[in-house]
Amino acid sequence: MSIKKELLLLSRDIGGIVILFVMPMMLLIAVTMVQSGSFDSLLGTRMQVLLVDHDQDSISWRIRQSFANDGALELIDQLGGKPILESEAKGLVHQGDYQLAIVLPKDLSKDLQVHVKQNVSKILAEFDFSADTIRATGGHPVAAKEIKLYFDPATQAAFKTAVRMSIDKLVSNIETEAIYSTFQSELGEPGDSSFTEQQFISFKEMDDSANGRSVIPNAAQHNVPAWALFAIFFIVVPLSINIVKEKSQGTMVRISTSPTSYGTFLMGKTAGYLLVSLIQFYLMLLVGVYIFPYLGLQHFQVKGYFLLLSLIAFFSGLAAIGLGMLIGTIASTQEQSAPFGATLTVVLAAFGGVWVPVFLMPNIMQKLSVLSPMNWGLNAFYDVLLRNGGFKAILPAIILLFLFFILTLSIAIIYDKKKKTV
Amino acid sequence: MSKIVIHIDSLSKKYRGSQEFAVENLSLTIVQGEIFGLLGPNGAGKTTLISMLCGLITPSEGTFTIHDFSYHESPKQLKASIGVVPQDFALYPSLTAKENLCYFGSMYGLKGKMLGDKADAALASLGLAGYKDKQVGTFSGGMKRRINLLAAVLHEPAVLFLDEPTVGVDVHSKKAIMGYLLELNAQGTTIVYTSHHLQEAQEFCTRVGIIESGKLWRIGSPEALIASIPQANNLEDVFIDLTGRGFRDG
Ligand SMILES: Nc1ncnc2c1ncn2[C@@H]1O[C@H](COP(=O)(O)OP(=O)(O)OP(=O)(O)O)[C@@H](O)[C@H]1O
Ligand SMILES: [Mg+2]
């Protein structure tokens, strides 16, 4: 009966229904579309870099080579079928069309060779292995060369540093090789067979998708559960308003004077709003599965996870309802409960990693994020979606969410009892 | 001697942060079948007293029992035996008349067809049968007053508390409401009610108590109270006389 009443009340409030069901879906679509660009650059699609190549020799070849091996960057050296001019590249980057342009000066490879050769010969001459080499290669010292980098003014400093360092490393590798091979040829060694191009020290990134906590979701895998959680928790607002209304319209007096306890009364609300939060969740899933691909976004994979995802949504809903009932019980006016509930939800969402995924947060915030029940839910969703976790994996989160519900509900009931001693 | 239904013993209430007692050292006994009227000016303590009896607020001092039940020992039984009609409308405006009654009835454990039938019968008895499927928010003040009353009686309480049940209604609604209450009383319901309408109380009550500053100054049948003051012809005269003397004893 009380469930029926809650659902009747909800169904007679069309504006409320729209806010509850449609707004979160719109939010999800909007945010995913806005974020998908930045998420993808962060998570794997390639960033385009302009190359103005006046060198056309071994160094430019090596740079192209290393860019081809790099998954994150894509080199573009032609626009409209023509080689890019420096002025053109500068303009495009300045406008923000591209984040980076690399300009290789003319004769870069050749002059590096000459420069290395001169130096090697000079050293060899000092050891006096064969005095005539100096004369042979002598001549004018070569002017220092510079590789120009144009960055989009909005580029992050960290990215600039990373690019500068990797190009620097590339050039010094080439320089080292040139020095080696010049020594070899000057000393008359048999040539390339003894020289290993292989780097002595290299790095290998370990993939720990099996058990680690550092798995990175794509935009859909993050946004669907994150915003579904946000929507679920946003029922704090209508629910707390609903309870405040019971007080302001006097119906709470009837409930308090009836043999039905406040706890039982709240359980009726819990059941009604739990249904609402599950519907919300499934609507969000539908958006992820059917509307995302339609909008050119990555589609959200539900297959095989449906039951676990529903379970997480169920307990997240309970936690949200507990919070809403507590706020509704303590607040005495809608003017208190609505802004407070909305702000608290947004803050918990921010802390919990809904807006910005936790792995992108500063260190301190990452530590604080565990305080938000939305973070427990989100992590459980990640466990299922990215780490292939089963029921066991999400059990701690579910227990935590349930305890949160019990705690908030108990405080609400105790507070209600206390209120009678005005 | 009739059965004692409400027994109040030295009951006091001082709201937190307040200097004065809203109800002070009040003792009163009400027996089965009475229609007891609590009369007094604004702020006298009528609502406070009723709120304590209904379990909405806890007394600062003193005790009371209703049907020998107390809120400490058997709150559920106590609550099941009383009905409460609040001073302000206490209804869901977006629910229909019947939905409101059924919901509140269900709080007392009523359910199913029995509940629906009771709601229909109650609505019919106060001339609202044609409005049972209309949302209460669209009702006139008089209609809301009637629903407000019906929502408290579906479970057939032995004691009915009413806080100004006829405030702001026209003569017809008032007549309908008072007639309905007399009917309930005839079936054995004890009624405790507050009012500012002294004429109404005089006609309606078997006994009245005049309260001011949280104290009961006079108690007795309307006839006895009128007789106790030489020039008084009705309760209003009694009231004015008491007010004129600043509620001093005498
Ligand atoms: N919640 C409260 N907190 C503090 N003081 C209160 C509270 N409720 C009532 N009072 C005070 O207690 C006293 C009695 O109030 P009460 O509402 O019982 O009067 P009443 O007889 O019902 O008046 P009315 O005829 O206007 O309804 C008043 O002085 C009032 O200001
Ligand atoms: Mg009052």
pLDDT in single tens digits along all 250 residues of chain B: 679 999 999 999 999 999 999 999 999 999 999 999 999 989 999 999 999 999 999 999 999 999 999 998 999 999 999 999 998 899 999 999 999 999 999 999 999 999 999 999 999 999 999 999 999 999 998 999 999 999 999 999 999 999 998 888 888 888 899 999 999 999 999 999 999 888 889 999 999 999 999 999 989 999 999 998 888 888 888 888 887 776 655 4
In the predicted model, is pLDDT for residue A34 greater than 90? no
Closest CA to A322 of A419, A229, A406, A230: A406
Cα A2-A5-A9 angle, rounded to 5 deg: 145
* Residue A408, helix vs strand vs coil: helix
Task: Find, among A228, A320, A230, the residue nearest to A273 by Cα.
Answer: A320
> What residue has token string 């921010």?
A350
A158: tokens are 């960290």
Strand locations in A97-165 (E)? 100-104, 148-151
- State which residue of chain B sits closest to A11, comparing Cα positions: B94
Percentage of chain A beyond pLDDT 90 is: 35
pLDDT score for A56: 87
Cβ of B95 and A1 within 8 Å?
no
Q: Which chain B residue has its CA at the smallest distance from A261's CA?
A: B76
Residue among A160, A167, A205 at smallest CA distance from A64? A167
In order of A358, B132, B197, the CA distances from B143 in angstroms are 56, 11, 19
List, in order, residues 6 or more apart from B233 with CB less than 8 Å away. B226
In the predicted structure, residue A285 carries a pLDDT above the cut 80: yes
CA–CA separation, A135 vs B62, rounded Å? 119
Pick the range with the lowest mean pLDDT from A213-227, A336-350, B63-77: A213-227
Reference A113, options A171, A53, A48, A175; nearest CA is A175
Q: Which pLDDT belongs to residue A210?
A: 43
d(CA A408, CA A395): 20
Cα–Cα distance for residue pair A368/A47, rounded to 1 Å: 32
pLDDT of residue A386 exceeding 90, the answer is: no
- Please give the Cα distance from A355 to A361 (Å, whole number): 10
Alpha carbon distance A269, A8 (integer Å): 12
Q: What is the pLDDT of residue B148?
A: 94
Cβ distance of B107 and A256 shorter than 8 Å = no
Closest CA to B101 of B79, B67, B77, B124: B124
Backbone phi, psi, residue A85, to 5°: -90, 155
Q: Point out which residues pair with A73 in neighbouring strands.
A: A47
All residues at 6 or more sequence positions from B77 whose CB lies less than 8 Å from its CB, including other chains: A259, B67, B69
Question: Looking at chain B, how many residues does it have?
Answer: 250
What's the pLDDT at B93? 95
- CA distances A269 to A3, A242, A407, A419, B16, Å, are 6, 9, 16, 20, 31
Q: pLDDT band for A249, please (50, 70, 90 cuts).
A: very high
Burial of B218 (0-12, 13-18, 19+ CB in 10 A): buried
Q: Which two tokens stand for residue B190?
A: 């004890």
Question: Does B55 reach chain A within 8 Å, measured CB to CB?
Answer: yes
How far, in Å, is the centroid of ligand 1 from the Cα of B186?
Answer: 32
DSSP string, chain B: -PPEEEEEEEEEE--TT-SS-SEEEEEEEEETT-EEEEE--TTSSHHHHHHHHTTSS--SEEEEEETTB-TTT-HHHHHHHEEEE-SS--S-TTSBHHHHHHHHHHTTT--HHHHHHHHHHHHHHTT-GGGTTSBGGGS-HHHHHHHHHHTTTTT--SEEEEESTTTT--HHHHHHHHHHHHHHHHTT-EEEEEES-HHHHHHH-SEEEEEETTEEEEEE-HHHHHHHSTT-SSHHHHHHHHHHTTT---
User: What's the confidence (pLDDT) of residue A200?
Assistant: 59
Cβ–Cβ contact B93 with A under 8 A = yes
Helix/strand/coil for A48: strand
> Can you point out the beta strands (E) in A33-140?
47-53, 73-76, 78-79, 82-83, 100-104
What's the length of chain A?
422
Report the phi/psi class of residue A204: left, alpha or beta, with left for phi > 0 and alpha for psi in -120 to 50.
Answer: beta
**Among A364, A372, A371, A376, CA closest to A400:** A376
CB contact B16 to A (< 8 Å): yes
pLDDT for A60 equals 85
B82 neighbors B157 (Cβ within 8 angstroms): yes
Nearest chain A CA: its distance from B197 CA (Å): 23
Closest atom of ligand 1 to B87 CA is 27
Q: In A, which residues are within 8 Å of B75 by CB distance?
A: 259
Convert the pLDDT of each residue in A128-184 to its tens digit: 655 554 444 556 777 788 888 888 877 767 677 777 887 788 888 888 888 888 888
User: Do residues B80 and B54 touch, judged by C-beta distance below 8 A?
Assistant: no
Q: Is the pLDDT of residue A211 over 50?
A: no
CA–CA distance, A234 with B155 (Å, rounded to integer):
37
The predicted structure's pLDDT at residue A128: 67
Q: Residue A214 has what pLDDT?
A: 44
Q: What is the DSSP letter of A99?
A: S
Amino acid at A120: V
Residues 6+ apart with CB under 8 A from A130: A124
Query: In the 8-state DSSP scheme, what is residue A206?
Result: P
User: Which pLDDT belongs to residue B209?
Assistant: 95
pLDDT on residue B2: 79
Local structure of A299: helix, strand or coil = coil
Residues of A in contact with B93 (CB under 8 A): 249
Checking if the pLDDT of A46 tops 70, the result is no
**Of A98-107, A240-249, B144-153, B215-224, where does mean pLDDT reach its minimum?**
A98-107
Report how far apart, in Å, the C-alpha atoms of B140 and of each of A284, A419, A422, B145, B168 are: 42, 33, 33, 9, 11
Contacts 24+ apart (CB under 8 A), A57-60: A57/A107, A57/A108, A57/A109, A57/A110, A58/A109, A58/A174, A59/A104, A59/A108, A59/A109, A59/A112, A59/A171, A59/A174, A60/A104, A60/A108, A60/A109
Q: Which of B93, B99, B107 sits opposite A8 (nearest CB)?
A: B99
- Residue of the nearest CA to atom 28 in ligand 1? B43
Q: Which of A75, A71, A48, A74 is nearest to A60 (CA)?
A: A75
Domain boundaries, chain A: 2-39+216-419, 46-186
Q: What is the mean pLDDT of chain A?
A: 83
Rounded distance between C-alpha atoms, residue B126 and residue B143, angstroms = 9
Nearest CA to ligand 1 atom 30: B43
Comparing A19 with A214, the larger pLDDT belongs to A19
Residue A123's CB is within 10 A of a number of other CB atoms, namely: 13
Tally of CB atoms within 10 A around A296: 8
Q: What token pair was written down for A124? A: 């060899």
**Are the C-beta atoms of residues A262 and A255 closer than 8 Å to each other?**
yes
pLDDT in tens, A397-412: 999 999 999 999 999 9
Q: Both tokens of residue A409?
A: 């509900």
**How close B41 comes to chain A (CA, Å)?**
22
The architecture that CATH gives domain A46-186 is: 3-Layer(aba) Sandwich (3.40)
**Which residue reads 């050119």 in tokens?**
A296
B55 to chain A: nearest residue by CA? A257
A218: its two tokens: 């794509």
CA distance B239 to chain A (A): 31
- Phi (first) and psi of residue B145, to 5 degrees: -60, -40
Q: Which of B10, B16, B6, B7 is nearest to B62 (CA)?
A: B10
Report whether pLDDT(A44) > 80.
Answer: no
Give the Cα separation of A410 and A325 in Å (integer).
10
| Closest ligand to Cα B211 | 1
What interface predicted TM-score (ipTM) does this complex get?
0.91
Interface test with B, best of A17, A245, A253 (most B CBs within 10 A): A253
**Alpha-carbon distance A2 to nearest alpha carbon in chain B (angstroms):** 7
pLDDT of residue A313: 97
The chain B residue lying nearest A242, using CA atoms, is B92
The amino acid occupying position A297 is: L
From A379, A396, A398, select the one nearest A387 (Cα to Cα): A379
